[in-house]
A and B are shown apart, each in its own frame.
Chain A
Amino acid sequence: MATLALRDVRKTYANLEAIKGVTLDVEDREFVVFVGPSGCGKSTLLRMIAGLEEISGGDLLIDDRRVNDVGPAERGLAMVFQSYALYPHMTVADNMGFALKLAKVSKEERNRKVAEAARILQLEPYLDRKPGQLSGGQRQRVAIGRAIVRNPKVFLFDEPLSNLDAALRGQMRIELARLHEQLNATMIYVTHDQVEAMTMADKIVVLSAGRVEQVGSPLELYHHPRNLFVAGFMGSPRMNLLPATVTASGAEGVTVAGPGGMSVTVPVSPDGFRVGSQVTLGVRPEHLTITPDGSISGHALIAERLGGLTLLHVELQDKTMLVVQTDGSDATRVHQQIRLAMVPAHTHLFGSDGLAAEHLQRNPLTVS
């Protein structure tokens, strides 16, 4: 189908640089997710790819052809909007066939393609209805159908699920993943929801303030975040980031002392870490365990019981807060004194510049 490449793409408004030079390759049939907090420029970047926003600098290549100055329709892309943006005065069938009608495709051909898309999306009973008579999920499917009918080189999705309720969102997530499989299409998907990013993406692009923070597979970002931003943004619940001081460094890694008397040797390359320097220790809630012989002591302040698992908010002696993920059947009561241990292999170390230290052994990332 298609490949897409960004080469130092920039977007400048009057005196504000919204996109500060993004370079990225999207492979054929890849599902790429742009994720980041609101205002990070992810939607702007998608709209620049779509041709709805001008590109102020750099090159956008589709199938190795520079398309900066090509109109939205001629780029051969299709977009699904957050608001669905269906044509309210047209029936579902007309909505889906509008692009083909504009392209002067014959009526039979048009009907055939619309019927095919309706079959894939189970929209056949609704073809004669107007968008106003459909539910949110059905409208979303029509919007996707409108994209499918055009047989685009790349599908662009701008936060397509954020107007749906939680249950429907989960269901549509699976439908989209299946659709990606079924259509064998290249897709770029924008979201602020890191769960959507983790569950659907082949490749995640984490954006912040108009810059790419990291590009990688979901598990790569999970196990090897490149900096503090990615470490804090990806993963739910959020990674615990604790101030620490380097006490020793050697071949096994860097030993740091953290709050509450904790001491851990993080298996990372010791380059650049001097004894006494201030660093940040990162450990995910799921990599902390409650054990009587743990070296960290504190007491549980709040327990969020989600059923299958429990999130304990633990206060250490020096008032530092930690989140621990434990079993749903965990019996720890609020205000109970507990001791915690962490798996050194699953901890992360960030220098004062916010960059992560290289792990001595990379996670094999067997599941991908």
Chain B
Amino acid sequence: MRHTLGGKIGLAVLGWGIAVVMFFPIFWMVLTGFKSELQAVNPSLFFHPTLSSYADVQSRANYFAFALNSVVISVGGTLLALLFAIPAAYVMAFFPTHRTRGTLLWMLSTKMLPPVGVLVPIYLLMRSTGLLDTRTGLIIIYMLMNLPIVVWMLFTFFKEVPRDILEAGRMDGAGRMDELRHVLLPLSLPGVASTGLLSLILCWNEAFWSLNLTSSRAAPLTAFIASFSSPEGLFFGKLSAASTLAVAPILIFGWLSQRQLVRGLTFGAVK
């Protein structure tokens, strides 16, 4: 492919244009968080920054309690999903039967079901097992929610590991667990890590189940944001401040691990 100077500049402008459009809402949210409520309804780039919205937010709700719930639930859901998915993907990748393909597709098809369709049965199940508004309840729901994707991703990563190496391990006397621990997992560690990262982000941002299944004790940051859109009217300043607080940790985390994430998501495609 030949690139003329004009073409290069055009491409760069287009790329930056798309990036700016995509980033703008986040930028505007952060900006609005530093405005007073009066300034917030007035779309202007120039204003006197103030921390009053943040002070209001913190005085109304304890951010750290919500954040702790988010961390515990996301990490818990992700670890639990990996715990179930690793053996499942291992078996599907290395001991496939004629049903493996179908099972994988079926698992993915569950993601096509609108969650609201199963809201009532799950709500009732949670209520009768006493899991409503508990971290355990959400951890289980998040694990189930992410399991299909986690299994799929791990399956593709495991597929990349040459069979011979596992067989060599078997010849060396490795049992199933040794094989997983000493051979397969170390070899596919980048893949497992990026799968975990993705699951973590999905759990962190999940709003539907957290809003419907928690009220106070186990409410994560998504519920924290939602609590600022109240029937008395929208307070854009406070809402933006709360949103900024909620996305900041995962944004920083995503930034730090972006190389790992990109590598994971394109793994197999480009190798």
Contact = CB atoms under 8 A, between A and B. Distances in A.
Interface of A: 50-52, 71-74, 77-79, 81-83, 85-89, 98-99, 102-103, 146, 150
Contacts of A87: 165, 168-169, 182-183, 187
B164 A83 contact: yes
A99 B186 contact: no
Interface in B153-173: 162, 164-165, 167-173
Contacts of B182: 87, 98, 102
B140 interface: no
A79 B173 contact: no
A50 B171 CA distance: 8
Contacts of B186: 89
A72 B186 CA distance: 22
B172 A102 contact: yes
Nearest to B164: A85
A53 to B, nearest CB: 10
B176 to A, nearest CB: 11
B178 interface: yes
B165 A85 contact: yes
A74 B171 CA distance: 9
B171 A78 contact: yes
A89 B182 CA distance: 10
Given A87-B183, A102-B178, A150 B167 contact: no
B207 interface: no
B187 A146 contact: no
Given A89-B186, A89-B187, A98-B182, A77 B164 contact: no
B250 interface: no
Interface in B171-199: 171-174, 178, 182-183, 186-187
A50 B170 CA distance: 10
A343 B178 CA distance: 62
A340 to B, nearest CB: 48
Given A89-B187, A102-B178, A146 B172 contact: yes
Nearest to B173: A73
A368 B178 CA distance: 45
Nearest to B166: A85
Contacts of B178: 102
A161 B169 CA distance: 21
A98 B171 contact: no
B187 A88 contact: yes
A83 B162 contact: yes
- Nearest first, the 5 A-B pairs at minimum CB distance are A73-B173, A85-B164, A99-B172, A85-B168, A89-B186
Given A73-B170, A89-B187, 12 more contacts: A51-B171, A52-B167, A72-B170, A73-B173, A81-B164, A85-B168, A87-B165, A87-B187, A89-B186, A98-B172, A98-B182, A102-B174
Contact of A79 (B165, B171, B174, B183): B171
A89 to B, nearest CB: 5
11 contacts: A52-B171, A73-B170, A77-B171, A79-B167, A79-B171, A85-B164, A86-B168, A87-B165, A87-B168, A98-B174, A102-B173
A103 B173 CA distance: 7
Nearest to B98: A14
Nearest to A84: B164
Nearest to A149: B172
Contacts of A81: 164, 167-168
A99 B187 contact: no
A150 B170 contact: no
Q: Quick one: which of A73, A78, A82 has the most chain B CB within 10 A? A: A73
Nearest to A14: B98
Given A52-B167, A102-B178, A85 B162 contact: yes
Contact of B172 (A51, A52, A73): A73
Nearest to A150: B172
Contacts of B165: 85-88
Q: Quick one: which of B170, B172, B182 has the most chain A CB within 10 A? A: B172
Contacts of A89: 186-187
Interface in B51-85: none
Nearest to A78: B171
